[in-house]
Structure 1
Amino acid sequence: MHQEKRLPRNGKEGLLYGSLISTMTVIFMSSFSAIYFAGEFNAEVAWSIVKMIPIMWIIVMVIEPVIFGRIAEALTAKFTQATDSFNSKILFRILFTVLGMSAAMTLIGDIVGNGFHSELFSNWLANWPRNFAIVLIAESLVIQPIARFVMVKLHEAQDRKAGLAPEDVQVLKTEVI
């Protein structure tokens, strides 16, 4: 059976993969936002980042698989064909996930960081396009490739443990195709 080495194969691997992506994205965006709005990095900014990361991580780990991951999968299936390349499907998946998550997390991040206030919607309008562009670039070029690299290494280790040499895995792939 042809199995993709760059993506999770089961729920446990899916949790690891999602956790890696969520953790890197939350750390990156929490740090970026805190430093961007504070204007400088100091102990107070560092402490606000440390306090914000677990809260934002939990929120991301709940809403991505429950809401935006499902929407992204459906939209990716609608805009791609079975014969399309892995890279095209991943790019669509990243685009749709980042579109939804950046919109939601820009609003949620402002609420978590500043509470409900009268400028919530205008802040969202001003900040969301920037957040979307930054996360899209970070996810496409750094975060997702790191998570896929981890999956490849994990699957190679599993294949070695199962006694399959790299040539055997390649033969299995070509036999199924």
Structure 2
Amino acid sequence: MYGAIISTLTVLFMTSFSIILAVGEFNGDVAFAILKTIPIMWIIVMIIESAIFGRIAEALAAKFTQPTDSFNAKIVFRILFTVLGMSAAMTFIGDIVGNGFSTEIFSYWLKNWPRNFVIVLIAESLVIQPIARFAMVKLHESQDKKAQLEINA
């Protein structure tokens, strides 16, 4: 659930941002293009994050932190490594989904990836991850309350 919240918010934000930036304006056609692209990008993100980059980020975070390090220290490394891998892959994949495969894709990637990395890192750190953590806290509180009611009944 946590990963689904993060992936959904990131896909909504970055797909919209990238398409609007590429077109240069927002209108009905752009909104329709965003709505068509979001499900495709969400499926791709869910697959590669859970199968590849989430696992790599978890392993790297474990290498760079100690068991005694705080949760916040561990989550910062996890965010950094996940965003690093996902932004690199999705900048490339997003260009293919949006424009098809061409020889210029590599020069576009070199130009767009640093920008995408910084934007997603800031969005993940300041907005997306806190929203997902808040949702999970509320879910756990609800589950604990329900379990307590069942015990008392």
For this structure pair, what is the TM-score category when the shorter chain's length is used for normalisation? over 0.9
* Identity, % of aligned positions: 77
Determine the structure 2 residue equivalent to 1:104: 89
Pick from 110, 118, 123: which aligns with 1:138? 123
Determine the structure 1 residue equivalent to 2:79: 94
C-alpha distance in structure 1 between counterparts of 2:11 and 2:148, whole Å: 37
C-alpha distance in structure 2 between counterparts of 1:107 and 1:36, whole Å: 16
- Give 5+ residue unaligned stretches, structure 1: 1-15, 165-177
Cα RMSD after superposing both structures: 0.8
TM-score (normalised: structure 2): 0.96
* Bigger share in helix: 2
Deviation at 1:21, TM superposition (A): 0.6
C-alpha distance in structure 2 between counterparts of 1:37 and 1:120, whole Å: 14
Runs of 4+ in 1 over 6 A off after TM superposition: none
Which letter does structure 1 place at the counterpart of 2:57?
A
Determine the structure 2 residue equivalent to 1:41: 26
C-alpha distance in structure 1 between counterparts of 2:27 and 2:54, whole Å: 35
Determine the structure 2 residue equivalent to 1:19: 4
1:17-53 alpha-carbon deviations (Å, 9 max, x no partner): 1111111000000110111111110011111100100
C-alpha distance in structure 2 between counterparts of 1:30 and 1:117, whole Å: 20
Determine the structure 2 residue equivalent to 1:66: 51
Q: Does residue 149 of structure 1 match 2:134?
A: yes
Determine the structure 2 residue equivalent to 1:114: 99
Determine the structure 2 residue equivalent to 1:29: 14
What is the number of equivalent residue pairs in this alignment? 149
- Give 5+ residue unaligned stretches, structure 2: none
| Secondary structure at the counterpart of residue 69 of structure 1 | helix
TM-score (normalised: structure 1): 0.83
C-alpha distance in structure 2 between counterparts of 1:50 and 1:162, whole Å: 39
1:72-118 alpha-carbon deviations (Å, 9 max, x no partner): 00000000000101111000000000000000000000000000011
C-alpha distance in structure 2 between counterparts of 1:31 and 1:105, whole Å: 13
Q: Does residue 78 of structure 1 match 2:51?
A: no
Pick from 116, 123, 142: which aligns with 2:108? 123
C-alpha distance in structure 1 between counterparts of 2:142 and 2:66, whole Å: 31
C-alpha distance in structure 2 between counterparts of 1:125 and 1:45, whole Å: 24
C-alpha distance in structure 2 between counterparts of 1:21 and 1:140, whole Å: 11
Pick from 28, 44, 57: which aligns with 2:42? 57
